[in-house]
Amino acid sequence: MESFVRVVVAPFALGLAGTIGGWVAAVESPANQQPDLLTGAVGMLVIFVVVLVAAGAVAGAVSGRGHGWLGFLFAMAGASAACAVAVAVNSSDAVHWGLSRLGSIDWLADIVGPYLSLFASPGSVQRSIETHLRSPRNLSPFEEVHLMRALLSAKKLRRSLLDYAQSVVVNRNAAVPVRQWAVLLLGRHGDIADQRLIARHHLDDPELARACVIGLQAANPRLRGSAMSDIARTYPETQPLIDRVKGLKSPYWPTFSC
């Protein structure tokens, strides 16, 4: 029991306390006492690494039985738990931070997108994303793809966002990856009219055709069957994907895993 406390509980507690302390110390701005997400994230990362190394070393030294790796793992668990708590506590500030910087931090889209997907249902979040997507600041297909994928996690999507997705699908000058995710948005959140629009563009491009196979998985059997037959005949390389989609018991949508 004593060994368990020294090797498992102590490193876990050290990781938890150290990371929370590091986060709190990092996010407090002396000027206005408002959380600064970027500073807090950097500070938390530094504390995270230091705590992991220290906890693993302490556990190994104290136990004297080569269990340092076990302490390391539990310190990691503690730090991860602290990270989750910090994110939950500061979620409203973090969401605002991400939304207010769309267009200027497009290189962070693969980080911001998954986080925003956790809050994709509220109308205020959807309005902010739509405002950006329709603005001149929307210049990065990389960012647009991740924002569309984030919206895929919403319980319900605003009609105006679906109208925007329609405009992307029909725009043959738009980047194919962006059109692909627009198809998936229409497939999951749209109605029969949106599904028919997907079917009208299912042969525009072989990569877009793959997205249409997934986007039409929830469509009525007649529309889905006709479109998939056309796709398989025009692009035979899509047949394995078509077979896999047909074998699903329920529709599968590639949302972010967070």
If one compares 163 and 85, the residue with the highest pLDDT of the two is 163
Domains and CATH numbers, the chain: 2-89 (no CATH), 94-246 (1.25.10)
When mean pLDDT is compared over 11-15, 25-29, 126-130, the highest value belongs to 126-130
Alpha carbon 62 to chain centroid, angstroms: 40
Q: What is the pLDDT of residues 207-253, one digit of tens each?
A: 999 999 999 999 999 999 999 999 999 999 999 999 999 999 999 99
pTM value is 0.67
If one compares 47 and 124, the residue with the highest pLDDT of the two is 124
